[in-house]
């Protein structure tokens, strides 16, 4: 029988990509504060080391590993370094992503390739490397892919991003199907508009304010609004969930506004 959703993540080692700032850094701090050992990855080593120091100062356990998710070699070496530093990985939060806003006719092939390489291929390669480790350890585990409501609907000037996130939704379901036999559960979270340092300025503009009016709850999401879905998917209470996509968007997806 599944247990209650718990805030106690003691004994769990979680690898988090894209953790140098924003949502990824928040996930690292939040899960470490609940007892998890975290391995934070990104390209910016200085930011990772600052995050690790902050977590340690609060009594948490964290390790920094530099990884470029657009490089399969970097991912392979990074996962090996994470296991060496922290031991077997029990959960992966696939959070790395880029979100340039360009009209399709103004987007270069290089722009497209960067988004797909980061948001989709990078998530695939990271999940595969972590899953291999889970299979070798015969431990099972949990993989959480950070998708987006733009993987489930359309938006202006975000074709590459929306396509990458739609692919990530399907990738989540394919991974869940293939890896269930190993006790590896794979789910996705599809956030709506979340306030971060990168998005805050946009929502002060007239266009951003108009977007807010189309959200039934009439507000931006906060990073803390994603804590519940993350903790649920890390919890034994979700032990019968795999291949699911949890939407956290203030009702935006179901709105016709």
Q: Give pLDDT tens digits for 2-45.
A: 455 568 999 999 999 999 999 999 999 999 999 999 999 999 99
Is the separation of the CB atoms in 24 and 51 below 8 Å? no
Mean pLDDT score of the chain, rounded to an integer? 94
Strand segments (E) across the chain: 13-16, 37-42, 61-66, 91-94, 141-146, 184-191, 245-248
Tell me the per-residue pLDDT of 105-149, one tens digit each, with 9 for 90 and over. 999 999 999 999 999 999 999 999 999 999 999 989 999 999 999
Residue 1's pLDDT is 40
Is the separation of the CB atoms in 32 and 61 below 8 Å? yes
Would you name the residues annotated as active-site residues? 161
CATH dotted code for 13-246:
3.40.50.720
Tokens 């990073």 belong to residue? 223
Give every strand in the sheet of 37-42, ordered side by side.
61-66, 37-42, 13-16, 91-94, 141-146, 184-191, 245-248
Is the separation of the CB atoms in 12 and 79 below 8 Å? no
CA distances to 70, 100, 162, 163 from 157, rounded to whole Å, are 23, 9, 9, 12
Question: pLDDT-derived band of residue 209, with 50, 70 and 90 as boundaries?
Answer: confident
Q: Provide the 3-class DSSP secondary structure of residue 117.
A: helix
């Amino acid at each position: 029988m599944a247990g209650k959703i718990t805030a106690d993540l003691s004994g769990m080692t979680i690898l988090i990509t894209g953790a140098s700032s924003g949502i990824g850094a928040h996930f690292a701090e939040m899960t470490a504060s609940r007892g998890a050992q975290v391995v934070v990855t990104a390209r910016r080593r200085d930011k990772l080391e600052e995050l690790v120091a902050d977590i340690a100062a609060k009594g948490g356990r964290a390790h920094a590993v530099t990884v470029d998710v657009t490089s399969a070699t970097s991912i392979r070496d990074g996962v090996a370094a994470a296991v060496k530093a922290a031991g077997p990985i029990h959960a992966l939060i696939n959070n790395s992503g880029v979100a340039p806003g360009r009209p399709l006719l103004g987007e270069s092939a290089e722009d497209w390739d960067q988004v797909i390489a980061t948001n989709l291929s990078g998530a695939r390669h990271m999940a595969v490397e972590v899953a291999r480790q889970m299979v070798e350890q015969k431990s099972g585990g949990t993989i959480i892919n950070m998708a987006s409501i733009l993987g489930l609907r359309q938006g202006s000037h975000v074709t590459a991003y929306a396509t990458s996130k739609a692919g990530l939704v399907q990738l989540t379901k394919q991974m869940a199907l293939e890896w269930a036999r190993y006790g590896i559960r794979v789910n996705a979270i599809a956030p709506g508009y979340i306030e971060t340092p990168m998005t805050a300025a946009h929502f002060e503009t007239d266009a951003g304010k108009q977007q807010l009016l189309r959200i039934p709850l009439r507000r931006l999401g906060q990073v803390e609004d994603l804590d519940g879905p993350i903790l649920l998917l890390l919890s034994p209470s979700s032990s019968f969930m795999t291949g699911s996509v949890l939407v956290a968007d203030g009702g935006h997806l179901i709105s016709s506004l």
